[in-house]
Amino acid sequence: MKHLLDTVSLSREDAISILDIAEEMAQVSEREVKKLPVLRGRTVVNLFFEDSTRTRLSFEAAAKRLSADVLNFSAKGSSVSKGESLQDTIQTISAMGADALVVRHPGSGTPHRLAHTGWIDVPVVNAGDGTHEHPTQALLDAFTLRRALGGFCASGAVKDGPRGRGLDGAKVAIVGDVLHSRVARSNVHLLANLGAEVHLIAPPTLLPWGVETWPVTLHYDLDEALHSEEFAAVMMLRVQHERMHESFFPNEREYARLWGLSAARLAGLPKETFIMHPGPMNRGFEISAAAADSPRALILDQVENGVSVRMAVLYRLLTGQEETND
Amino acid sequence: MTQRTVLDAPDMKRAMTRIAHEIIESNKGSDDLVLLGIPRRGVPLATRLAEQIASISGRPEMASELVGSLDITMYRDDLRSGAYRAPEPTTIPAEGIDAKTVVLVDDVLFSGRTIRAALDALSDLGRPSKVRLAVLVDRGHRDLPIRADHVGKNLPTSSSERVNVSLAEIDGDDGVTISGGRE
């Protein structure tokens, strides 16, 4: 494994090995010294061409816990606003000496481009590209689900965690704006690869072209789907206003009424169904406060696990000599 | 390839019993003692020592409170240049290691680099009052100024030889063999 660009090409073995390493990383957060010397003297550059709170902070915390030096770059306030091209920006960073790039970009495929153009020869981690993929979010969702469904504490250090396991047989619903969601795309492929049965529940206007070729079951009615299936977890997606340039649904109130996880829908779910959301949440819109703050919501566990999972990804990509195929 | 047995199962049992007694003697009992095995083969060895020490002290039920494992993968000095290695679990007894006598347990002491890494890992977990080292086999050829306190067998080897330790818990049977080297 040289880069982490998507979850489509991530094998089940590699995915489970990352989740298992993340179990070890979670132990570190409870130790006296919350740092490992793994990446001492190496530099991780966070390149954020798009806004982010949790992903950027989470990657920064992960790299620092592994003793790496971290350089943060955000497009706002940089020479990008003076018109500098992506190639020049990357080559500038390369000249300053980077050992890994963590990239978020509004253009789908940008991390892939950086990994393959030869502008810079270091591991590239996709931290979200356009409407394509967000592999570390899917990995932390899988980590959280694997914990919760195995009956373990959903976050923090667990002594004999669910190492070596997948998500075989778990029924997971992903609800809402699938069309614009890189989180949904990454989750569909990763969860299916780990053995879960993935259901997408969305209005037809918010499903992408070619969705019928994905390893999923489709539903076009939330109440009917929640009624007919018993889901182990329901993942609500954020409605991405910033990417919506046309009308995908009549108005917000109708969306909230038909597609939001309201208090009433929450009450109708089986008691053991977990609630997930990749954040940031639009409370009262796709998810009600009752659902977001309920004891079975894993939303803060997802954030906490993000650091351990990203430590595991950096560890996996930046240690060990491996022959590269690309 | 020639292979000869250096320790068979009864030899190994005797060596472990002797180490258990030595640990109790140098610690003046089994109080404040923690045995940390280094994965993989140090872990079952530490468990065996803990069981013996507990039964010698007349409290066989305390064996599990004495023993843990200490993974050193993240502290290796060849993380960048060596092959990729997946970390193994680290488990520390509930009481922690502060102000305890920690005995590191490993199967073979060779270059000493594993123990150097283990000492670094240990200092990130707490502050033991003393750290000791027990190994089943000391085969020489140290790269670092490190020595063992308790040794099952000193084994003069050439650096081209390979020392193989098998343990019932991992490999099905107990024994130490040497293979390779110049014919």
The token pair at A217 is: 């079951």
Residues of chain A that touch chain B, judged by Cβ-Cβ distance less than 8 Å? 17, 20-21, 23-24, 27, 31-33, 35-38, 159-160, 163, 315-316, 318-322
CB within 8 Å: B84 and A163? no
* Average pLDDT of chain A, as a whole number: 93
CB within 8 Å: B84 and A159? no
A241, pLDDT greater than 90: no
Distance CA B4, CA A321 (A): 34
The per-residue pLDDT for A186 is 98
A221, pLDDT greater than 50: yes
A324, pLDDT greater than 50: no
The per-residue pLDDT for A325 is 38
A218, pLDDT greater than 90: yes
CB within 8 Å: A322 and B91? no
Query: Look-up: residue for tokens 């920064």?
Result: A60
Residue of chain A with shortest Cα separation from B91: A159
Pick among A23, A24, A122, A323 to test the B interface (most B CBs inside 10 A): A24
Residues of B in contact with A32 (CB under 8 A): 124-126
Least confident piece of the model among A61-70, A245-254, A311-320: A245-254
The per-residue pLDDT for A322 is 57
* Average pLDDT of chain B, as a whole number: 94
Residues of chain B with pLDDT under 70: 1, 182-183
Distance CA B2, CA B164 (A): 13
What is the 8-class DSSP label of residue A162?
A: -
In a 10 Å sphere around its CB, with 0-12 CB exposed, 13-18 middle and 19+ buried, how is residue A159 labelled? exposed
Give the model confidence (pLDDT) of A107-153 as tens digits.
Answer: 999 999 999 999 999 999 999 999 999 999 999 999 999 999 999 99
The per-residue pLDDT for B132 is 97
Nearest neighbour of A38 by CB, restricted to B74, B82, B88:
B74
The per-residue pLDDT for B1 is 66
Residue of chain A with shortest Cα separation from B77: A38
Residues of B in contact with A37 (CB under 8 A): 74-75, 120
The per-residue pLDDT for A252 is 87
CB within 8 Å: A37 and B85? no
Q: What is the mean pLDDT of residues A2-26?
A: 96
Residue of chain B with shortest Cα separation from A32: B125
The per-residue pLDDT for A223 is 96
Q: Is residue B10 within 8 angstroms of chain A, CB to CB? A: no
The per-residue pLDDT for A188 is 98
Nearest neighbour of A319 by CB, restricted to B71, B80, B91:
B80
Distance CA A11, CA A22 (A): 17
Q: Which of A145, A125, A124 is nearest to A135 (CA)?
A: A125
pTM: 0.93
Q: Which of A185, A152, A174 is nearest to A19 (CA)?
A: A152
Pick among B124, B125, B127 to test the A interface (most A CBs inside 10 A): B124
Residue of chain B with shortest Cα separation from A22: B87
The per-residue pLDDT for A194 is 97
B119 phi and psi angles, rounded to 5 deg = -65, -40
Q: Is residue B125 within 8 angstroms of chain A, CB to CB? A: yes
Q: Is residue B87 within 8 angstroms of chain A, CB to CB? A: yes
CB within 8 Å: B79 and A35? no
Distance CA B49, CA B37 (A): 10
The per-residue pLDDT for A107 is 94
Q: What is the mean pLDDT of residues A98-105?
A: 96
Distance CA A170, CA A189 (A): 14
Torsion of CA A80, A82, A87, A88, to 10 degrees: -110
Residues of A in contact with B126 (CB under 8 A): 32
CA distance A179 to chain B (A): 36
CA distance A100 to chain B (A): 13
The per-residue pLDDT for A326 is 35
Q: Is residue B182 within 8 angstroms of chain A, CB to CB? A: no
Q: Return the sign of the alpha-carbon dihedral for residues B125, B128, B134, B138.
A: positive
CB within 8 Å: B90 and A37? no
Q: How many CB pairs under 8 A join A and B?
A: 53
Residues of B in contact with A36 (CB under 8 A): 74-75, 124
Residue pair A308/A29 in contact by the 8 Å Cβ criterion: yes
Q: What is the mean pLDDT of residues A36-60?
A: 94
| Helix-helix angle A12-28:A299-318, to 10 degrees | 110
